[in-house]
A and B are shown apart, each in its own frame.
Chain A
Amino acid sequence: MKIAVCVKHVPEQARKIDPGTKRLDRSGEGAINPFDVHAVEEALRIKEDKGGEVVVVTMGPAGAQDSVRKALAMGADEALMITDDAAAGSDLVATTNALAAALEREGADLVVFGQQASDSDGAVLWAAVADRLRLPVISQVAELEVSDGKVRGKRQTEFGYDVIEAPTPAVLAVSDAINEPRYPSLKGIMGARSKPQRTVSVSELGVDEAGEAGSKTTVRELSDPPPRGDTVKIEDDGSAAEKIVEFIAERKLL
C-alpha cells in the first residue's frame, strides 16, 4: 500500500504577518506543523501493519526541508517537495492546484492529512484536494481501521461520533488524538539524509494558477485585536498556587 502524507512547514514562534507583503512572515525558524506529526505517525503505523511505503509531500520554502527530514527520520521512505517562488502566497485554491497535481502523480492508495495547520487554522485543505483528486474523504478521524480495499474512521462532530467507511484510494484527515507520535531514533535521524528526496516546481507539475497570482482571496488590511482588560502572566517560582488563590479571592470567586 502506498501512503502519501501531507505535511506543512510552519513558523515556530513569534508568528506575525509582514505588513508589507501582508503574508505570514516565514523568515524565522520553522518546524513541522505539530498536527502533521500525528499524520506521519498514522501513515507509518499503517505501513508497519499492511506493508508498503510512505511518501511525504509538502509545498513550502526551501526551509521546509527540515520538516521533511523530521518525517523521514520518523520512518517515512521518501519525500516530494513543491518548492518554488511562484508558489509563495498561495491561498486554498492555489495550494489545492499544486498539491493535488503532485498527489495525482504519486497515485497513492491513501492520502493522509493532519488536523489543521497551526498557522492557518483552516482545517479545510483535505476536502479541497479530495474533490480535485475525485476521491472520497473522511475528516477529523480519531480512530482508524484499514482493511483490504477500504478504510473506516470514527470521528467527532457537533452531535457526537460518526463512523464512516470509504473504499480506497481515499483521503483522510486525522485528529491530534489518534495516536502518540514516536520520536525519531538516532538511526532514523542519520538515515534520513540518504533517503530519496525530489523537488518539483509548479510549472513542472503543469499548474498555471499558483501562488499569489493563482489565489482567489486577498488580505486587504491588518489591525490590532481589540484591547483586553488587565491581564497578568506569572512564572511559577513555587508560589503560583498562593497567587492564584489571591487572584480569585480578590475577584470574590472563592
Chain B
Amino acid sequence: MATIVFLEHHDNELLKPALGVLSKAATLDDDVTGVVLGSGVMDLAGGAGEFGAAKVVVVDKPELEAPLPQPRVDALASIVGAGGYDNVLFAASVLAADVAAGLSARLGAGLNWDLTDLVREGAELVGKRPALGDSVFVDVGWTSTPRLALIRAGTFDPRATGGEAAVEEADVQFEDFSTAATMVERAHAESEGPSIEDADVIVAGGRGLGAPENFKLVEELAQALGGAVAATRAVVDAGWYPYSTQVGQTGKTVSPKLYIACGISGAIQHKVGMQSSGTVVAINKDPNAPIFEFSDLGVVGDLNEIVPKLTELVRQRRS
C-alpha cells in the first residue's frame, strides 16, 4: 500500500491533527508520504520526517498562498494520480473537508468521513465511524482506490519517531475555476475575550437561550459556581458571544471537571470540543436532543425556568 497524508499548516507550522494522522498512517503502512501545499512552505516540509513520512511532496506556488480548497484539489489530483497512492488521508478541518470532497468528485474516489480509527486488513483498509450522533459504530470500507478518508478532529496525537523525509517538489496546472475564489481577509480572530481552557467549571450556552441578552442566565450560573462561560458556534457565528469562548471543532477543546450545557443540541462538532469533560449536565427542552447521549445528567426542561433557580440554589449552598 502507498499512503499520502495532507499536511495542513498555519502560521508556518504543520498542524498537530495532521501530524497525528501521519503518525497513525506510519503504523499502518511503510510507504507513507506527506504533502504540503502552500506558498513559501519549502522549509516546513522536512519536519514531517519526524512523524513518519518517508517522503514529502511540496507544491510551492502563489496560487496556494490563501488556505482555499479548490487549487489544492488540482494539486492533489495530479500528485495522487502520478504517485499511484492507495490511500489519501486528511485530518478533518474546514479546509481539509472541502479539499477531500472536491478530490472525491474529481477522481470519482470514495470518501469516508468522521473516522475515529483506521485498521488494516491485508490489502484492505477499514474505517471506524461513530454515526447518527455517535449512537452506532459503523465499519466502513471502499470499493476502489484511491481511498479517501477524513479523520475526526483530535483523534490521533502526533508521535515523534525521529525519521527523516526526502523532500520532492511537484508542479501543478490550476483550473480556471479553482482560482476564481479569493481571500479578502484571513483568519481574523475577532474580539479578544475570556480564556476558558483552564476552567474547572464551564457553563455553556447555545441557541436555546433564545436571545443574546439571555447569556446573562449562564453568566450568573457560572459566576455562582466560580466557573467560565462557553458558547456554541451557532451563537458565536450569530454574534451573541465572542469566538474565544467557542467550544468545538473550530473552537476550543476543554476538559473541565463539570460542564453544564444550556440550550445546546449536542452536534458532533460541539461534542469533539468537550467530550473529555468530567461530568456533563445538559438542560434541553427537546427529549430527543443528541446532547443527552453524552450527558451524565440530562434534564428535559425549559432553561428559562431551571437556570435561574439553579443559580439561586448554588448561591445559597456556597454562601
The interface residues of chain A lying within 8 Å CB-to-CB of B126 are: 220
Of all chain B residues, the one with the shortest Cβ separation from A178 is B237
Contact of A233 among B67, B100, B142, B292 (CB under 8 A): B292
Number of residues from B at the complex interface, CB < 8 A:
98
Contact B250 A158 (CB under 8 A): yes
In the assembled complex, B2 has its CB within 8 A of some CB on chain A: no
In the assembled complex, A20 has its CB within 8 A of some CB on chain B: no
Known: A132-B105, A241-B310. A162 touches B186 (CB 8 A): yes
Contact A161 B187 (CB under 8 A): yes
In the assembled complex, A189 has its CB within 8 A of some CB on chain B: no
Contact A236 B302 (CB under 8 A): yes
Contact of A128 among B102, B138, B235 (CB under 8 A): B102
For the complex, give the distance between the alpha carbons of A155 and B184 in Å: 12
For the complex, give the distance between the alpha carbons of A247 and B278 in Å: 13
**What's the least CB distance linking A231 to chain B, in Å?**
6
The interface residues of chain A lying within 8 Å CB-to-CB of B73 are: 131
**In chain B between 216 and 273, which residues have their CB closer than 8 angstroms to a CB of chain A?**
225, 233-238, 243, 249-250, 257-258, 267-268
Interface string of A118-146 (1 = CB under 8 A from B): 01011111111111101111111010000
In the assembled complex, A221 has its CB within 8 A of some CB on chain B: yes
**In chain A between 92 and 127, which residues have their CB closer than 8 angstroms to a CB of chain B?**
92-93, 96, 100, 119, 121-127
In the assembled complex, B93 has its CB within 8 A of some CB on chain A: yes
In the assembled complex, B279 has its CB within 8 A of some CB on chain A: yes
Known: A160-B189, A253-B201. A217 touches B140 (CB 8 A): yes
**In chain B between 194 and 227, which residues have their CB closer than 8 angstroms to a CB of chain A?**
201, 207, 225
In the assembled complex, B157 has its CB within 8 A of some CB on chain A: no
Contact B298 A234 (CB under 8 A): yes
| Interface size of A as a range | 35 or more
For the complex, give the distance between the alpha carbons of A127 and B9 in Å: 20
Contact B111 A124 (CB under 8 A): yes
For the complex, give the distance between the alpha carbons of A231 and B312 in Å: 25
**In chain B between 283 and 319, which residues have their CB closer than 8 angstroms to a CB of chain A?**
283, 287-288, 292, 294-302, 305-306, 309-310, 312-314, 317-318
Contact B110 A127 (CB under 8 A): no
The interface residues of chain B lying within 8 Å CB-to-CB of A128 are: 101-102, 104-105, 111
Known: A136-B181, A158-B250, A247-B281. A131 touches B143 (CB 8 A): no
The interface residues of chain B lying within 8 Å CB-to-CB of A254 are: 225, 314, 317-318
**In chain A between 224 and 252, which residues have their CB closer than 8 angstroms to a CB of chain B?**
224-225, 228-236, 240-245, 247-249, 251
Contact B132 A119 (CB under 8 A): yes
Contact of A167 among B104, B137, B180, B309 (CB under 8 A): B180
Contact A222 B136 (CB under 8 A): yes
Interface string of A201-228 (1 = CB under 8 A from B): 0000000010000011111111111001
In the assembled complex, A157 has its CB within 8 A of some CB on chain B: yes
For the complex, give the distance between the alpha carbons of A229 and B296 in Å: 8
In the assembled complex, B144 has its CB within 8 A of some CB on chain A: yes
The interface residues of chain A lying within 8 Å CB-to-CB of B23 are: none
Closest 10 CB pairs of A and B: A236-B301, A216-B110, A177-B237, A160-B189, A241-B309, A127-B101, A124-B101, A128-B105, A163-B185, A159-B187
With A157-B93, A224-B137 known, 7 other A-B pairs at CB within 8 A are: A96-B104, A126-B101, A127-B98, A158-B249, A161-B188, A217-B110, A247-B296
Residue pairs across A and B with Cβ atoms less than 8 A apart, 18 shown, are A91-B110, A96-B105, A122-B114, A131-B101, A131-B103, A137-B70, A156-B237, A158-B10, A160-B190, A164-B182, A166-B180, A216-B110, A216-B143, A223-B136, A231-B295, A233-B300, A236-B299, A248-B258
